[in-house]
Chains A and B, each alone.
Chain A
Amino acid sequence: MSHAYRAVGWNRQKKVYDRILTLGVILFLGLFMGVGALLRPNATAETLMIRGFGAAAFLLLHVILSIGPLCRLDPRFLPLLYNRRHMGVTMFILAALHGLLSLIQFHGFGDVHPLVSLFTASDSYGSLAWFPFQPLGFGALVILFLMAATSHDFWLANLGAPVWKALHMSVYFAYALLIGHVSLGVLQAETSPWLALPVALGLAWVLGLHLVAAGTEARLDRDVEGVEFEGLVDVCAVHDIKDKRARIVCLDGERVAIFRYDGKISAVSNACQHQNGPLGEGRVIDGCITCPWHGYQYEPHNGSSPPPFTEKVPTFDVRIRQGRVLVNPDANAPGTEVSPALIDFADKGAPDA
């Protein structure tokens, strides 16, 4: 092991969020099981627990899936992002309890192994109404397990951000399996619209939010149409960038964050090495570009984290010409030193800091 991974600190704020999360889960379970017991006085504790844990996990998954797009739409949601990992692990624990209790209740008393029973109890794969919905839940649980098990930054550093990201993108596959698990499972047996409606609304919410966020992102992903000058692209005026902030532009399909700080301009890849957070939405703090997601830092002139850390992002050659910022669209290898372009008084234009 090296300094290649660093723990995101346990600060007070994180603990407060953890407490709110725990309290929320307990409250939900209490309310769900309490109301359930009132509505169905003969219901067994196992049934109430299976349903309570399943519903809590499913609801929490909706919250988790909303955080990403919400943060793209409004930075005020960012504190939720810092705490998403704990939500994910909590959701997995709830889902695992639901799955385990279901396995015991529905498959534990036969003469074949519960897991064999889970997969062989029904083979009506050709019928939608009778589709074996439990293997769908099992598939989702396996994915959620892999994600929870690799959620620590140790795995992120060892698998590398792209592999880790790809693994964690399979949460969408898990979500799809769970929509199948619920609509082909409990919604086939319980035909009350008061159950189907929340599932439909949840689905519309998650998909709608992602589509709206994707729409705003797509605008960012249009290549800048700046004039080229000696292989460099004119991306904006110096005074378009606020001090200690960046402007994000798209060059050859990749996003570049162009920072202005201490009378200088430097450009780095917009994707943080940690979890691909948008560096260009961060600020320069203590001379370092600071990622808005979890606070990883990089020096603007070489894209490297200050020692002892070893993260590196690609850098881009920059120049200033007649008050305009020019960037070379070909990225330098991560960590390559690039002299910042110096802003002189004439370039500055309107006071804008």
Chain B
Amino acid sequence: MIAPLRRAHRRILVTLSLGLPLLFVSSMFVRTETPRVDLPAELGLGRVALPEAPIEPDPLLYWSAAPVRIGQSLPGDARLLGAVRSGLWLAWSPELAELEEGTLFVYSLLDQEVTALIGEGTDEGKAQ
């Protein structure tokens, strides 16, 4: 009758009672790592450490040929490269691999402003 189902239920419960707290606690420990951007190898830029600036939610990684300041809105020529946080990358447009001169910056979709500059390219980028 239903004894096997009940046994399966018990086994699931034991596994989750051990596994989920472990998963949650370890995820809390790793999140103190400095935020960094893993730029895909196709871009030829490698890994870039993010500046100290607080990382706002929904941050997206953009490139612009023009100098960019923290707090400004999205420059007209900005090209979307990917999302910065939470291990997520957006789709790529292959020609972005050829972009070299310019500013890489983090733009918060939530606050609609530039929140961090990444030290490649312009002086402003390096200064921040």
Contacts and interface: CB of A to CB of B under 8 A. Distances in A.
Contacts of B58: 47
A133 interface: yes
Interface residues of B, number: 45
A183 B87 CA distance: 12
B19 interface: yes
Contacts of A43: 110-111
B1 A314 contact: yes
Interface in B17-70: 17, 19-21, 23-24, 26-28, 30-31, 33, 38, 55, 57-59
30 contacts: A40-B111, A44-B109, A106-B88, A109-B80, A109-B91, A117-B91, A121-B88, A121-B89, A122-B88, A124-B87, A129-B33, A130-B38, A162-B2, A169-B5, A172-B12, A176-B19, A176-B20, A184-B87, A187-B27, A187-B31, A188-B85, A204-B21, A210-B13, A211-B13, A214-B10, A217-B6, A254-B1, A254-B2, A276-B2, A331-B1
B28 A183 contact: yes
B31 A191 contact: yes
A109 B90 contact: yes
Contact of B9 (A169, A186, A196, A314): A169
A25 B27 CA distance: 29
A111 B90 contact: no
Given A107-B91, A196-B28, A211-B13, 8 more contacts: A43-B111, A121-B83, A121-B89, A169-B8, A185-B86, A203-B21, A254-B3, A269-B1
Interface of A: 40, 42-44, 47, 105-107, 109-112, 117, 121-122, 124, 127-134, 162, 165-166, 169, 172, 175-176, 179-180, 183-191, 196, 199-200, 203-204, 207, 210-211, 214, 217, 221, 253-254, 269, 271, 276, 314, 331
A69 to B, nearest CB: 10
A132 B87 contact: yes
A110 B86 CA distance: 18
Nearest to A183: B27
Given A169-B12, A172-B16, A187-B28, A271 B87 contact: no
Given A128-B30, A187-B28, A189-B55, A42 B89 contact: no
B112 interface: yes
A128 B26 contact: yes
Interface string B68-106: 000000000000101101111111110000000000000
Nearest to A46: B109
B90 A121 contact: yes
Contacts of A176: 16, 19-20, 23
Contacts of A214: 10, 13
Contact of B92 (A110, A162, A179, A187): A110
Interface of B: 1-3, 5-6, 8-10, 12-13, 16-17, 19-21, 23-24, 26-28, 30-31, 33, 38, 55, 57-59, 80, 82-83, 85-93, 109-113
Contact of A199 (B6, B16, B24): B24
Contacts of B5: 162, 165-166, 169, 276
B7 to A, nearest CB: 9
Given A121-B82, A134-B88, A214-B13, A188 B2 contact: no
B1 A271 contact: yes
A3 B10 CA distance: 33
A248 B92 CA distance: 62
Contacts of B20: 176, 179, 203, 207
Contacts of A204: 21
A44 B110 contact: yes
Contacts of B113: 42
Contacts of B57: 47, 186, 189-190
Given A176-B20, A179-B23, A44 B88 contact: no
Nearest to B112: A42
